[in-house]
Structure 1
Amino acid sequence: MDIKLIKQVVDLMKRSDISEFEYEEDGLKLRLSSKGADAPQIIHAAPVAQTAAPFPAPAAEAAATNTAAAPAAEEKGIAIIKSPMVGTFYRAASPESPPFANVGTKAGPDTIVCIIEAMKVMNEIQAEMSGVITEVLVENGEAVEYGQPLFKIKTA
């Protein structure tokens, strides 16, 4: 593992709401955790033993996630606007401002639907498709992951 990468992750954890981080590479597993204002601490860093079926649980979780997400994605004429990054989801530019997108909002490819804050940078997220917002899938101020569904949009 690259020590520079680990230092960057620790720095990111200090500046954000990320409280746990887990990474695995070339048979080495690293887990970082921070509680409150404490600096992130290495909880577990050890070689991972390779077995005939390495990681059956995550494979089962992925299968469960795929089957749960498949019906939503298969709804006719419904597309999903996904998060392009890890960060904090905001529906409006400020607490006093109205949300960028509500249920029923007509959106075009350039329409800003939310903001995702990552490393103290406010990133405006565009719909990248035309349609009508049918569902908001994330609460304001909630942490989001890369690829996490944010909105359902009726495209046809």
Structure 2
Amino acid sequence: MFKIHEIREIIKLIDQSSINEFELEIDGAKVTMKKSAGETVYVSQPVVQAPVAPVAQAAAPVAAAPAVAEAPAAPVEAPKPAAAAVDESNLHKIVSPMVGTFYRSPEPGKPAYVQAGDKVTPNKVVCIVEAMKLFNEIEAEVSGEIVKVLVEDGQLVEYGQPLFLVKPE
């Protein structure tokens, strides 16, 4: 059975690609995704397994449906982002220069490059973004204090997506 985070990663990758239809079957669990003008993606699992909870993505509604069911699944609304407790107008955003997977530390089990409250300089490495098996170190670009980490470790990030908020010095 597929885990929710695995399905989310597949959805994001398919959504970013020019692929219109995708099908994956592993150990009897099957995921089929089709892009259309409405950007609806359907995920299916065999009936003998527990149904997958609905998965939502900002760009495309997603719903779970059993493999044998003929009725279309209803799209699920994307979650609304939580209100930011920080005034971002005077903060510098460190953004991802590419699509990839965000990592806070140099390797599993090691401490994160930076935490909220840490001081950074323009050449200080703050994270890694992995793209196509290449690990790209992302630098702070400014001197200041990390106010907030905006991305979870292991999360897929988009080009230009804010990763950190920095209060410039």
Structure 1-normalised TM-score? Answer: 0.59
Query: What amino acid does structure 1 have at the position aligned with 2:22?
Result: S
Partner of 2:34: 43
Superposition pairs of residues 97-112 of structure 1, within 5 angstroms: 97-112=110-125
CA distance in 1, matches of 2:158, 2:104: 16
Partner of 1:114: 127
Percent of aligned positions that are identical: 42
Partner of 2:166: 153
Aligned-residue CA RMSD (Å)? 3.4
What secondary structure does 1:19 align onto?
Answer: helix
- Cα–Cα, structure 1 residues 92 and 34, in superposed 2: closer, same or farther, change >3 Å? farther
Shift of 1:43: 2.9
Partner of 1:141: 154
Tell whether the 8 Å contact from 1:30 to 1:42 is kept in structure 2 after alignment.
no
CA distance in 1, matches of 2:24, 2:87: 35
Unaligned runs of 5+ in 2: 1-8, 38-58, 60-80
Number of aligned residue pairs: give it.
115
Matched, 1:132 2:145: yes
Query: What amino acid does structure 2 have at the position aligned with 1:31?
Result: N
Partner of 1:31: 20
CA distance in 2, matches of 1:139, 1:104: 17
Tell whether the 8 Å contact from 2:118 to 2:145 is kept in structure 1 after alignment.
yes
CA distance in 1, matches of 2:25, 2:125: 33
Per-residue displacement from partner, 1:29-78 (whole Å, max 9, x unpaired)?
Answer: 8634354659x9783578xxxxxxxxxxx8xxxxxx9xx89x9542x2x1
What secondary structure does 2:126 align onto?
Answer: strand
Of Structure 1 and Structure 2, which has the larger fraction of its residues in helix? 1
Structure 2-normalised TM-score? Answer: 0.55
Partner of 2:44: none
